[in-house]
Amino acid sequence: MENRQGMMSPEKAAFLERSKKFWNPGKTQSWIDFGIDLVIDRREEYFLYDMDGHRLIDAHLNGGTFNLGHRNPELIATLTEAMTRFDMGNHHFPSLVRTELAEELARTAPGDLQYTIYGSGGGEAIDIALKTARHATGKRKIVSIIKAYHGHTGLAVKTGDERFSKLFLSEGPADEFVHVPFNDLDAMEVALSGKDVACVIMETIPATYGFPMPEPGYLPAVKQLCEKYDALYIADEVQTGLMRTGELWGITKYGVEPDILVTGKGISGGIYPIACVVVGKDHAGWLTEDGFGHMSTMGGAELGCIVALKVLEIVQRDEVRSSVQFIADYMSKQLTDIRQRYNDFFVGIRQNGLVMGLEFNHPKGAMVVMKALYENGVWAIFSTLDPRVLQFKPGLLMTPDLCEELVNRMEVAIGQARTEVFG
């Protein structure tokens, strides 16, 4: 099995210096400090190749952007064919493919969600969802989860962790953006009880916080509280949607019909940027009142819509559902076995389908594991807001052979990380 420690070429070292000089010095140096010298070059299926030719199994998928693999051949063919007739289009006018995608999202969304509003990325889509909730309710206050992550744009960043908001003086007024602990119904009811809240926004399973799982009954109870206190429920399905949990939308596994649903990342197929906000008719009044109220030149680009339609088709195939179930069961069994062998270090598995967080017994355990995985040909990332937990996201279409290889590499890496931590 390849181990790549200490193998950086002079060419890569020079390139990283260029990256620090012209792109993002802080992020580039942070990765170097973590022991990650990755500069992605070629990619295909569930593999990344760095500029020195080293192969990595991608078990992060950029937060689920590459659920169907890198450069999925069906998506490439779909985009290539679309480019013979379409480009990104004009956001002002009715569009054949923009409407077709909206119809498909209405058909597949939980409950009676009807209208789709488009953005170019998840953060923008979250902003749209929050603005829509404020217009629908006539209220300003927004409730989110402590250590939530919903993107870095104007309103979205205010709903998340202060690490990302305070840097740009964007935390928002404390009486307007309220944060409550996850799985705490009492705190949620206190926040909602004044009937002055426009919406509650939650990732179905909070990713950047390390995938803590909702306690039984928690999400339905939050929806009931929203109804009791006249607030809307926004399901952020950017990372948990599109069959990652074994259902098209993760929220449906918890029996919740949200008032607004947001999807991004994977809906693009990793091919063409697009994000979507799906809204019930009763809450989309601004579309009738002033359809020019929100505009996004790149939002709902027609090429992106065509790719998204193909993504929705693929993930709803019976064989994809079966694949997800197989991979989820296989990973659960194998990781449980590994955990038993390293139970003083590898202490928890948080899982719903292929949404997985692996918990380690050290304040920065997942950072150590990430580095060991990298040295053993696997890319997975620690949870930014809980570095004890590794974000582990196998692809929906991984073959049994690749699953086995991934697990074998993970066991070696976890063993190495344990030795580094405990000696």
Counting Cα atoms < 13 Å in the Cβ hemisphere of 296 gives: 21
Structure tokens at 386: 């809980």
The H or E element that residue 42 is part of is strand 40-44
Distance CA 10, CA 270 (A): 30
SS3 115: strand
Confirm if 122 and 275 have CB atoms less than 8 A apart: yes
Assign 6 a pLDDT band (cuts: 50, 70, 90).
low
Using only C-alpha atoms, the chain has a radius of gyration, in whole angstroms, of 21
Spatial CB neighbours of 397, under 8 Å, sequence gap ≥ 6: 46, 68, 69, 320, 323
Residue type, 193: S
For the ranges 42-46, 106-110, 118-122, 165-169, the lowest mean pLDDT is seen at 165-169
Q: Say whether pLDDT at 1 is over 60.
A: no
Share of the chain above pLDDT 70, in %: 99
Angle, helices 400-422/318-341, rounded to nearest 10 degrees: 30
**Higher per-residue confidence, 50 vs 152:** 50
**Higher per-residue confidence, 209 vs 304:** 304
pLDDT digits (tens, 9 = 90+) for 328-373: 999 999 999 999 999 999 999 999 999 999 999 999 999 999 999 9
**How much is the average pLDDT of 305-321?**
98
Angle, helices 365-375/400-422, rounded to nearest 10 degrees: 130
Distance CA 212, CA 349 (A): 10
Structure tokens at 85: 């007739």
pLDDT digits (tens, 9 = 90+) for 92-145: 999 999 999 999 999 999 999 999 999 999 999 999 999 999 999 999 999 999
SS3 of 165-228: the string is: HHHHCCCCCCCCEEEECCCCHHHHHHHHCCCCEEEEEEECCCCCCCCCCCCCCHHHHHHHHHHH
Quote the pLDDT of residue 171.
Answer: 83
Structure tokens at 365: 């355990």
Q: Which residue has the tokens 């749209």?
A: 128
Quote the pLDDT of residue 420.
Answer: 95
For the ranges 167-176, 239-248, 360-369, the lowest mean pLDDT is seen at 167-176
Assign 263 a pLDDT band (cuts: 50, 70, 90).
very high
Angle at 349 between CA 251 and CA 275, to 5 degrees: 35
pTM for the full model? 0.95
Distance CA 299, CA 140 (A): 25
pLDDT digits (tens, 9 = 90+) for 269-311: 999 999 999 999 999 999 999 999 999 999 999 999 999 999 9
Confirm if 413 and 373 have CB atoms less than 8 A apart: yes
**How much is the average pLDDT of 158-179?**
86
Indicate the average pLDDT of the chain: 95
**What domains does the chain contain, in order, with CATH numbers?**
10-71+318-422 (3.90.1150.10), 73-315 (3.40.640.10)
Quote the pLDDT of residue 3.
Answer: 53
Distance CA 266, CA 121 (A): 11
Structure tokens at 378: 């696997």
Assign 8 a pLDDT band (cuts: 50, 70, 90).
confident
Could you tell me which of 177, 178, 179, 158 has the C-alpha nearest to residue 168? 158
SS3 322: helix
Q: Say whether pLDDT at 37 is over 80.
A: yes
**How much is the average pLDDT of 47-71?**
97
SS3 116: strand
**How much is the average pLDDT of 151-156?**
86
Distance CA 236, CA 277 (A): 9
Quote the pLDDT of residue 172.
Answer: 83
Confirm if 387 and 367 have CB atoms less than 8 A apart: yes
Could you tell me which of 286, 307, 304, 295 has the C-alpha nearest to residue 73? 307
